[in-house]
Amino acid sequence: MIKKPVLAGLSLEGLAELLGSYPSFRSRQIYHWICRGASSFDEMSDLPMALRRDLAENYRVFSGTVVSEQRDRDKTIKLGISLDDSAVIEAVILRDGGNRKTACLSTQAGCPMGCVFCKTGMLGFRRNLLYHEIAEQFLRLRQIDTGISHLVIMGMGEPLLNLGELRKALDYFMDSRGLNISKRRLTLSTCGIEKGILDLAEQGPDIRLALSLTSARQALREKLMPAGRENTLPRLKDALLLYQKKADRRITLEIVLLGGINTGPDEAAAIAEFAQGLRTVVNLIPWNPVEKKEFEGQPLRPPTRNETAEFAAALEKHGLKVTLRTGKGMGISAACGQLGVVKKE
């Protein structure tokens, strides 16, 4: 069965080209309706009824279907979205202590990285998402809350392994004629793909970049994050230096704190050494529990409060700026590293 073309995520020019048989002003109307959160043609009230019927017969607004909506006590919201091939991805609205609301989006169905501490990696890798599948996550979240001001590419998957489709989605988010999200409010988090960082440095866009470092000791990082075997710390450092030169932005170094594994003074010293020459902030992320996660035969555990405080103090003694990320959405498995449904044996 041939699927109807999807309109969400298309640029205004792309929409006008696809809908070339209609007057151009109709494309602008439809574009603005989709950006405002319309999920069906029936909602586009200033279009003639006959046109709405014709559009519904030949096109789709979205390709995915929302199959679950979960809300945590801390006001985190997680959507499960089923795609055309029945792959299910997840997108999240996060709220900080103030009024900021941030959308967290996925770029892949599953993840090929296999990081020891991440639930999504247990799913394996299914495929890269298409640009409209990335864009419609945000549009679906915005239907729930129009007050979303920031966007982070930190959901399921490794963004830099799907950079071509992600770029199209980012262009859609930043278009001043539509959603008009400032690139200063867009953050991409990567586990460290050297080629992708270099590509981003040369081709843009110059959005905020976060590196999931977790360990600055090469041997340990390779064990925790298999991608580190090829993307070694020296190569990542060179790529980050180039990105910072091109984009002129501070880089966030994300450290997933694993109790008793990467919380010692040697680790803090190694992070300080890695950060030399970079303009950075270190974001500490106490590990969010995931069932059946082990390292070298021992169950993973979150750091204690003392471990976290002492590690933060050690980093600060090395002159680093440190922030602590509080776990949001843990009650609905929406916190960092918890996205994805573990396969049942």
Report the catalytic residues: 90, 336
Mapped onto helix, strand or coil, the DSSP state of residue 73 is: coil
Distance separating alpha carbons of residues 3 and 26, to the nearest angstrom: 23
Residue 151 pairs in a beta bridge with 103, 186
Distance separating alpha carbons of residues 300 and 291, to the nearest angstrom: 9
Find out whether the peptide bond into 226 is cis, omega within 30 degrees of 0.
Answer: no
Distance separating alpha carbons of residues 160 and 291, to the nearest angstrom: 27
Based on DSSP, count helices (H) and strands (E) in the chain, helices before strands.
10, 14
Contacts of 326 (CB under 8 A, 6+ apart): none
3-state secondary structure 188-215: EEECCCHHHHHHHHHHCCCCEEEEECCC
Nearest to 70 by CA among 271, 322, 332, 342: 332
DSSP string, 129-160: PPHHHHHHHHHHHHHH-TT--EEEE-SSS-GG
